[in-house]
Each structure stands twice: as structure tokens, then as C-alpha cells.
Structure 1
């Protein structure tokens, strides 16, 4: 497939839409083509930018970019599996210590657990994290269609055992078993 052949095919399709659907349909189709061209253009620009001056593992630099990763996933070219891409998305979203507890293949639901006591507990902070995670997942793992954030069960308090004083201990304080 060449650029020239693709351009001719796009023009043919737009002309057909104009003939069948009228000017409004053709205008919407042209807007769609423009949006896709901007998306791909931005992705290609990032590819060039990431590869410029990259030594070692240039693919690693590309996989960390949300736009480039989105293009690779969109075309089934991303070399990482879903688990790796979800981990990359959580890292990109600066999700802290969220842990993946499950994924439902049929519904696309990803279940995440937030450890007890993590963060300040403010709903606005939690909401911001959820939004960042959802945005990153849409690029890195678009098969995730829903995110459920669960609070982990509270930890049991540490057990402090009190017993008799060891031989030779001072008599003016509680005895603590060690």
C-alpha cells in the first residue's frame, strides 16, 4: 500500500459519501479523516523524537510513551502483554501503591486495590488518581473498559504481649515480652 494509492482511496470514499449522503455527511467524514491524520501525525512525530538520540533499547523508549503505545495497541503491534501494559499505565499515572487484584476478560473490568492508610483519604485525591489511571489505561490497555478501585481490608493492630519482668529488670516500669 503506497501513500499515493491510500490518498486516492480516501478521495474516492469521500466523493462517494458526498454523492450518497450529501454535503453534511462529507463534511463529517472529512473531519474524521483530519482527526485521524492529526492523531497519526502526532504519533509519528513522537516516534521520531523518541528514536532520535536513543541508544541501547529504542523500543523501550517508545513503549513508555502513551501516544505511541496507543498506536501500537490499536494495530496489535504492542510487544507487551496486558499485565505489563497495565503495570506501565499505573506507573505512568503515578498511581502509587495500587495493586491489580483481577481482570474480567468478558466485561473488561480491572479491579485495583488501594492499601489501607494509603494517601490522605481525601475523595478529591482518590478521584484524581482514578482519572489519571483511566486515562493511562485507555492508551496502554484499551481492553480495560472499567476500573473498580477497592479499599483493602484494614490491618489487624500489632499484638503487644505483656508478661512478667525478666530477671534483673527494673521494678519501675511495665514488663514487655520480647
Structure 2
């Protein structure tokens, strides 16, 4: 389950408690559990050998937890690069505007192409600061053959 899916399930549970008088108790429970898990993760992360931590940062669930608790060791640029490396098609960042959350990307190779929604889904766990993706389409390449087409014989 992704961090986003977990967040939605928690919100649904809290919404179900709304108006029952248990809503504030449910919210406090979530805060207390978050604090508990955050404190534990804050002790684990520095104790991990760098190669082990590096491997774990590729896992979307782990990356999401570390971000949630402000424990992720990489800056947003490194996390964007990590997320993009996981895509089946290569894209390169053109620019990221932290004020708007817009990430501009360019395809680096032709292929079947991934949709902006696919890119956004990969970025959601690694770089939630990215709120929108603008994906430049790859330019059409001119196909050059090995020889010119045969002209029709003139008689």
C-alpha cells in the first residue's frame, strides 16, 4: 500500500468518526501514532549503513515514511532524479518551480511514452513537492533511408 493510499484510508476512517464525538479522539490517536513512529524512525535512519539506506530510498513506502517524518536525507532535486530513474522511459528535468510545484520534463528518447499521470504517480512518494508535471513531447525525427526511392522508369 502506498503512502497516498494509507493517507486516504486514514482520512476515510476519521471522516467516519465525524459527528460521533469520537472524531477528536481519532485525530489524537493518529497524531500519537505518527509521533511514535517518527521517533522510532529518527533513531533507525542514522544507524543504517549508507549502502543499506541508499537501497531503501528506492522503496516508495520507505521514501514516503521518511518524507512524512522529515527524515529523508536527500533534497528535492535528488528525490526527483531518483523517481525519474524508476520510469520505463527516460525523461530529464528541465526545471522545477518550488513556488508552484510545477516540474517541467523533456523526453530524452523516443518510445511508446509514459503519460503525465504515470510520472506524477512515481513522483508522489519521492517528491510530494511536485504538484504538477509538464511533459514536453519528443520532437519528431526525420526518417532517413539508406538510398533514395527508385524513380519510376520513364519510357
Q: TM-score, normalised by structure 2?
A: 0.59
Higher-RCO chain (CA-CA 8 Å, sequence separation at least 6):
2
The count of residues paired between Structure 1 and Structure 2 equals 126
The reply on whether 1:135 has 2:121 as its aligned counterpart is yes
| 1:13 aligned residue | none
Q: Quick check: 1:144 aligned with 2:137? A: no
Give how far 1:159 is off: 9.1
Asked if 2 retains the 8 angstrom alpha-carbon contact of 1:116 and 1:153, the reply is no
Is 1:87 the counterpart of 2:81 in the alignment? yes
Partner of 1:101: 94
Instruction: Describe the superposition over 1:36-86 as per-residue Cα deviations: whole angstroms up to 9, x where unpaired.
Output: 649x86xx79xx9xxxxx977221132112122122223332111222211
In 2: Cα distance, 1:148 partner to 1:86 partner: 14
Distance 2:50 2:97 in 1: 36
Larger Rg over CA atoms: 1
Which ranges of structure 1 fall in alignment gaps of 5 or more residues?
1-22, 49-53, 163-178
TM-score normalised by length of structure 1: 0.52
SS at match of 1:101: strand
Partner of 2:66 in structure 1? 72
